[in-house]
A and B are shown apart, each in its own frame.
Chain A
Amino acid sequence: MSELLRAPAEIKYAEELDWLESIDDNPKPFSWRLSPKMVRLFILGSERADGLDREVSQKWFGDRSFVERSIVTLASDRGLLLIGDPGTGKSWLAELLSAAICRNSTLVVQGTAGTTEDHIKYSWNVSMVIAKGQSRESMIPSPIMTAMETGAIGRFEELTRSTSDVQDALISILSEKYVSVPELESGGGDDNIVFAKPGFSIIATANSRDRGVNDLSSALKRRFNFVRIPVVTNKKSEAEIVRFRTEELLRRHAIDLDVPPTLLDVLLQSFADLRASAAAAGSDDEKLESALSTAEQIGVLEDAVLHGNFFGERALTARTLASSLVGSLTRREPEDLAILNKYLHGVVEPRSKEEGGAWPEFLEGGRDAIATLS
């Protein structure tokens, strides 16, 4: 088991990145560690036709043109804004991109209502300022400023959660590519200006459900290229994602437990059904509050696996899966419960009669969970 609870991508895939770097002979923009094609290969995985000596696994699942457009944006003058519903893999893609390009995916600013301009630019170490006065030493650079200084990729998570004035601090960083520090005197050198090195860019993510909370100004919009990541609806690739992430998760928790393929099917099918019903719903009260994203599915499965491992018979059963599904998707009382109840009786019950398999047990578990909650 690693020392880290969750290793960032550049540590987790360090060896693979080293190897890719060693065989990469394509031209690299700026100070990138890998060429754009290799970045794509790292993220989307290799195929036999690529003629590589070893296999590179696929790490992000989705349309290849999204990845291509993202990489190309980072090689251009503009920042990249990944936008999409929660749980569509935006942050994961951002992490993979920065790990592949500059081997550092930890220069992250988390956008919240409490984020201030200091978090984007710099702040001061007060005691040092008292002791030595304002100087470069007493300045605490933000992750973004660090990225500028090192020519790396800075990440801004949930850009739309921070207030507009804070967002607009990014405008000058993205267009002038420097930050001036007026507190320092311009004595001789460029001490009061921090210039960005080549290779610096920003990947921001925004949640499309937050639209309207803190809308981006058009000046900032102009400086970002938007790449919209849709919810995965293709069942095959969704199964792939869930399997991939769950395996990773089980490895992290060092749990030795099988996820039976039939249960995976049950999970995918139930999410597909719930999405269909949400799409058909007329008002917000008729659909679940959850976005029903792939990440949510992984959450449900993780919950069930952990429950099964620590409290159950060290096996994943349809009953635990159902109760964790009900537990995770119930956010509002009684609307969500009513929808799930309707789903269980309207869809799962006929199906369990027709198809059998794991469905009857799933129905049973779901009913119990709803009875407990209501």
Chain B
Amino acid sequence: MSGSRASGVFTALRTQLQEAATEFASGPDALEGILLGLVDDVDRAVREPLEIFPVCHHSPASALAMARRLREKQPKVVYLELCEDMAPLLTELRNCRLPVAVQAFAGDIDGFPQEWAPLSVVAPITEASAEYQAIAYALDTPGVELVLVDRSSDHVFQWNTTASENEASAEADEAPKSEEAALHGEAVGVEIGDLRPRFAELEEHLLRHGKVRHWSEWWHQYVEVPLGDSDHDTYRQVMFLIGSLFRRLAPGDGDRVRVDEDRERHMWTRMREHMAATGTGPEDCLYVCGAFHAASRVEEFGVDGHSDSFTISPRTATTWQYGLIPSSHAAIEAQFGLAPGSVSIAATQWQKSLKRTGVRPYRLEGQAGARTSRAKKAPPAAAPAVPAPATDRLSGFLRQPPVLDGLDESELLGWSVDIVRAARRNGYLASTADAIAVFETSILLAGMRDRAKPTPYDFQDAAVTCIEKDRVPGRRDVRRLVEIMMGGDRIGQVGYEALPPLARDVYDRLEPLGLKLQQRGVQRALLDVAGRPELEACSDVLWMLRRLMPTAAARPIMGERRLGERSIQESWDLALGTHQRALIELGYEGVSIEQVLEQRLRREAYGPRATTAGVLAAVEDSLLYLRSGRLADELGTHALKVLSAERTVDGAPEVLRRARALLAYYRTSQPELPAWIESFVKAGYAHYCTLLPTAFRDEDATVGQVAAMLGFLFSMESLALSLGCDRTQLELAVAQSHPEDPSKTALLWAAQVQLGTLSRAELRARCDALLDNPLVVPSYPRYLSGFVHALEPVPGLADVVVEAVSNAFGRLPDTVLLPWLPLLITTLRKGAGDLAPLLIREAGRVFPGRLPALDTWVPPWRQPQEDPFAASRSRHMTTAVPAPRGAALLAAHPAACDALAELLGCEDGWQQQGTSALPPSGAGAALLTAYPAACDAVAELLGCDEGWAPTVGTGSPGAALTTTHPAAAEALEALLSRA
């Protein structure tokens, strides 16, 4: 398409290339097409009225050319290839120490597959980059507008439907990244000026012939260095050429090409829209994009390109959050597959080039972390240069011999001395002789690789050759030391002002600790909560951070937080600076950590896969960290719903543990139990009763789970019954249970003992029967497992369990016993908190404490059965009449008796000695003799037909009574005759 419009500027080059194509490929064919296409691309990009500035990422040459060009041209609008939705954040860059990355983050997604969540896009920005120059110029020069034109973060994922899956799988193969390299997390990286061969063969070819090891080195040697001091036109044409080369030699990876072209369409559409809206002329603008995109051949390319053929698809409903996160050279290298150390070397190169060329770079006003004081204000802008007609700079550049790196001898000497010093500090036995050897070897290596002067990479190889011996004495090897020497890894930091409100709030609230928490590294915080009560708030924040952030960010060394407990002293290892990204990403979820925690607890509790145990855990957390009764009530009520919908008993042990802990907490800390936990116990009682028969039979339910169910039922029984539950339900449920598994059978027996339907003696007899039956013996250990688990619901059975276990050890054959031992140990270890102490205490009581005693020891269950009440019973036998000991005592101490009688309101006075000993049996008889009709009536009522017995005695007190109180006897008679 460009053939007809081609200018005559590159005619000479074209002819030359045509000849070359003819010679090498014997005739016009694909090669000619590619070669001439390259020139066409360059020609077209050069002629574009809107000045295109091609860049490559992390290229100091690009940055230098950019700084020069900006000073010269002073454009009014800068279009930048960066996600358009990231624009508002760029002004915050000045508060940060570079490198940092602009991040777009979406936790809740809408319109993408749910498994992609959370989505994150990062665009790292370093100081030695062309984009930073453009940003700094545009933001700090009045009247200049910065327009980001690339697709939004949303479109990154919209258009990248397949790539994200591939990337994910590719990353899985990689070696684990170091801490610095993992600063970006799982984010998708975008950057300006991705310029790299798109297929492996080309890259391999370039590396092999360039005699270099990796891409960054190739770029440094063949593009960066030769372009370092070239003028603007040369720079532009060479970059266009490289972009076009990689583009034309790219294989047809359809998806990637489609995305690239869509991006170009998007950018040109946005630029045309902007120009039309603001009325800016193309001559006042500068379009900064990767060289790859400058060689675009889409229809929409150029100010005059098609404008109606591409519509930008609407964004999805996903809400995106934006922020700055710290980045590092290592993270950038890891994310974009650059050689380790290359970004650091680029940064050093940038500083060197600035010094050498005297170009004044742009830097944001008040940029944090600036090394030198800011240079004086730029002189008044020079009048925009009149664009000179494009001339062919390519032919000259391509023909000139490779420009040699300007590394001078004294610099190399300096490096050699420095690396030896650094090596010695790191435990190497390096000496001056090594410095000489490194120097010499670098020069020899450079010579072998056709370089007049060694590059940093040659130097690195030389240092490894001469200093590295058979082992690395310290933490870092020589290669790493050279990287550090060449600038080392720089880790960025997001300034306080640029942090989201949540992160600022956290830093503010931790202020009383008096630590510099923004710094990287681990810091120890000591909190004497008892001595300084104001630190309690800090402690709360730290515990919440521990719940929300990666473990290493806040790690308690001393002190713990459990229900109903408070630490009086705490000490923490804090690494908030190192985990700044995690803190910033928390900031996307809410404005305070309490809010984020509440949201997360709710999300966990109301999630589709929430279990009762999980909800109870959330309740516990809300009490622990938020001290929020309201939230706890709400979540607790929800737990009730979840419980009633649950049909399995998988979570029973956890539910039991948590419910017990919560109950204990409420009982000790609050005047009355919250309504939800009462309902929970009630519902739980009914729920587990219902599930019990099934669980006993179900093969999937483990004995531990069933034991936990029984534990819940027995240990909460009193509360549940007081709330109106019926014990019959449990008795029926146990009666309905017919387990087949021996361990569950044992559990059932234990439950029956607890309920009183089975006596201990019967249980013992059953165990003995099992041991006696040779057919059952092999499964006896499984019964034992059941008994061990039964300690949880029926702790009182400990003695029987000890007996059963002892019997097993004593009577089981080794072939049965030994395979079971590991199971016993693991069971006990799992229940170490509850089961083991019980069992051991009981065993300690039963077994002799010393070895000699063992010989004569007979287990209690083998001793002849004694009646525990025999002794007292025999005492009863020997004493003929039980002496009324109380009465004697009262007679001996009459004062005490008087006081008691007065207290009880008895004013009858003392009875006469002697009469009290008489049995009161005669009293009724006297009444009867006094009133024979009553006696007859009673006798008739009782069916006694015999006549009256002869009178045995008179003057009995009963008769005396009736004679003294005739009215009472009359009343009785009337009563009886009426009946």
Contacts and interface: CB of A to CB of B under 8 A. Distances in A.
Nearest to A225: B465
A126 interface: no
A225 B466 contact: yes
Contacts of A71: 448
Interface string B182-215: 0000000000000000000000000011010100
A76 B209 contact: no
B440 interface: yes
B429 A37 contact: no
Contacts of B437: 76-78, 225
Contacts of A211: 470-471
A40 B441 CA distance: 16
B209 A72 contact: no
A357 B305 CA distance: 57
A68 B468 contact: no
A76 B444 contact: yes
B448 A37 contact: yes
Interface string A46-87: 010100000000000000110011011101111000010000
A216 interface: yes
Given A72-B441, A76-B441, A77-B437, A227 B465 contact: yes
Given A65-B461, A69-B465, A222 B433 contact: yes
Contact of B444 (A64, A65, A75, A208): A75
Q: How many B residues are at the interface, by size bracket?
A: 20 to 34
B431 interface: yes
Contacts, number: 63
A199 to B, nearest CB: 15
B441 A73 contact: yes
Contacts of A40: 448
Contacts of B464: 69
Nearest to B434: A222
B469 interface: yes
A65 B213 contact: yes
Interface in A150-206: 206
Contacts of A228: 468, 470
Interface in B472-495: none
Contacts of A68: 445, 448-449, 461
Nearest to A36: B448
A13 interface: no
A218 interface: yes
A343 interface: no
Contacts of B208: 47
Contacts of B440: 76-77
A78 B209 contact: no
Contacts of A83: 470
B521 interface: no
Interface string A237-278: 000000000000000000000000000000000000000000
Given A47-B208, A69-B461, A76-B440, A218 B429 contact: yes
B559 interface: no
A221 B470 CA distance: 9
A357 B213 CA distance: 38
B470 A222 contact: no
Interface string B137-160: 000000000000000000000000
Contacts of A216: 470
A83 B471 CA distance: 11
A72 B468 contact: no
A234 B448 CA distance: 26
Interface in A67-111: 68-69, 71-73, 75-78, 83
B956 to A, nearest CB: 98
A40 B450 CA distance: 13
A124 interface: no
Contacts of B431: 222
A222 B429 contact: yes
Nearest to A37: B448
Contacts of B466: 78, 225
Nearest to B205: A49
Interface string A13-51: 000000000000000000000001100100000010100
A226 interface: yes
B924 interface: no
A233 B470 CA distance: 21
A68 B449 CA distance: 9
B468 A226 contact: yes
User: Which among B462, B470, B471 has the greatest number of chain A C-beta atoms within 10 A?
Assistant: B470
B447 interface: yes
Contacts of A64: 211
Nearest to B431: A222
B448 A72 contact: yes
Contacts of A49: 209
Given A76-B440, A221-B429, A36 B470 contact: no
Nearest to A208: B470
Interface in B443-464: 444-445, 447-449, 461-462, 464
Given A218-B429, A225-B465, 14 more contacts: A36-B444, A37-B448, A40-B448, A49-B209, A68-B449, A69-B465, A72-B444, A76-B440, A76-B444, A83-B470, A206-B470, A222-B429, A222-B433, A226-B470
Interface of A: 36-37, 40, 47, 49, 64-65, 68-69, 71-73, 75-78, 83, 206, 208, 211, 216, 218, 221-222, 225-228
20 contacts: A37-B448, A40-B448, A68-B461, A69-B445, A69-B461, A69-B464, A72-B441, A72-B445, A72-B448, A77-B437, A78-B437, A78-B466, A211-B470, A211-B471, A221-B429, A222-B431, A225-B466, A226-B465, A228-B468, A228-B470
Closest 10 CB pairs of A and B: A72-B444, A69-B465, A225-B465, A221-B469, A226-B469, A72-B445, A36-B448, A218-B429, A68-B448, A76-B440
